[in-house]
């Protein structure tokens, strides 16, 4: 019998319970955005497996984190699922990731908890560069959950923050040419109405796993006043206690918004 392990597990369980109680008593972020990083390194360094195993476990972790958010009644979860730069990876890896994304969209759209909690499944990004099977899965998720508004799972697929802003600028320019927008009245609110997350509040907390300390072209417009949190835990190994620590850190910060 591993007595030391049992004592450690019990100590962690007690700490987690206390931490969760503390977090639940504080102000909860309404919108959390996550850069899910470290799948390949987790597979290779922790498991001694091929990188694809890390992606498979990362997909399962997203399902867990969604339910953690629902349990705390966090309204919006936005995740960086696949960047435009990710297309530069090996073709076999990209194809595998596309398969996982397709599977995830169908499974989330059919998840009973998603329907019970009325979670809208949305995708932001450049759909024109995605395989037809992924686009069909996106459309299926929208058809199944598009009428919901209590919670949102926002998946950034084939997404880039600079691309997002450029698309908004093109759309505004076209509406100026068409006489729908007066160029003299373009301001921050105008851009926000044309950005991919229009209608949603900006993230309160942006979290990145894996130890990297950068935002990697994610939600560049939207994170202007977000609280940033970086953890050295790889995404598949991200625990509930790590999630609670991130939220507690957010709660301990004073958000002045320049005031």
Active site annotation includes 90: no
Which of 2, 9, 27, 37 is catalytic? The answer is 37
Percentage of the chain beyond pLDDT 90 is 92
For the chain, the helix, strand and coil percentages under 3-state DSSP, each to the nearest 5: 55, 15, 30
pLDDT of 4 reads 55
User: Are 155 and 121 in contact, with CB atoms under 8 Å apart?
Assistant: yes
Nearest to 105 by CA among 121, 81, 127, 125: 121
Which of 9, 73, 86, 189 is catalytic? The answer is 86
Indicate whether this model's pTM tops 0.75.
Answer: yes
Task: Give residue-wise pLDDT tens across range 203-220.
Answer: 999 999 999 999 999 999
**Burial of 199 by CB count in 10 Å (0-12 exposed, 13-18 middle, 19+ buried)?**
exposed
Domains of the chain: 26-159+205-252 (3.40.1180.10)
Active site annotation includes 217: no
Rounded distance between C-alpha atoms, residue 201 and residue 257, angstroms = 15
Confidence of residue 153 (pLDDT cuts 50, 70, 90): very high
Confidence of residue 233 (pLDDT cuts 50, 70, 90): very high
Average pLDDT, the chain: 95
- Is the pLDDT at 16 greater than 70? The verdict is yes
Q: Give me the mean pLDDT over the 13-22 stretch.
A: 94
Nearest to 111 by CA among 158, 60, 58: 60
């Amino acid at each position: 019998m591993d007595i030391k392990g049992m004592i450690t597990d019990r100590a962690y369980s007690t700490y987690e319970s206390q931490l969760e109680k503390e977090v639940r008593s504080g102000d909860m972020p309404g919108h959390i955005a996550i850069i899910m990083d470290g799948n390949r390194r987790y597979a290779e360094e922790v498991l001694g497996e091929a990188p694809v195993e890390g992606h498979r476990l990362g997909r399962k972790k997203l399902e867990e984190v969604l339910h953690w958010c629902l349990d705390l009644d966090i309204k919006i979860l936005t995740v960086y699922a696949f960047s435009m730069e990710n297309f530069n990876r090996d073709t076999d890896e990209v194809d595998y990731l596309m398969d996982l994304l397709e599977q995830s969209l169908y499974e989330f759209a059919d998840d009973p908890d998603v329907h019970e909690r009325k979670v809208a499944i949305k995708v932001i990004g450049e759909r024109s560069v995605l395989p037809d099977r992924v686009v069909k899965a996106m459309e299926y998720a929208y058809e199944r959950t598009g009428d919901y508004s209590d919670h949102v799972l926002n998946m950034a697929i084939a997404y880039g923050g600079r691309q997002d802003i450029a698309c908004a600028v093109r759309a505004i320019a076209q509406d100026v040419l068409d006489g729908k927008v007066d160029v003299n009245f373009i301001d921050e609110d105008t851009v926000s109405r044309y950005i991919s997350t229009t209608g949603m509040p900006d993230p309160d907390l942006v979290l990145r796993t894996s130890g990297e300390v950068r935002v990697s072209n994610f939600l560049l417009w939207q994170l202007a006043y977000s609280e940033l949190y970086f953890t050295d835990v790889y995404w598949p190994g991200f625990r509930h206690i790590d999630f609670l620590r991130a939220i507690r850190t957010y709660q301990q910060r004073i958000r002045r918004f320049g005031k």
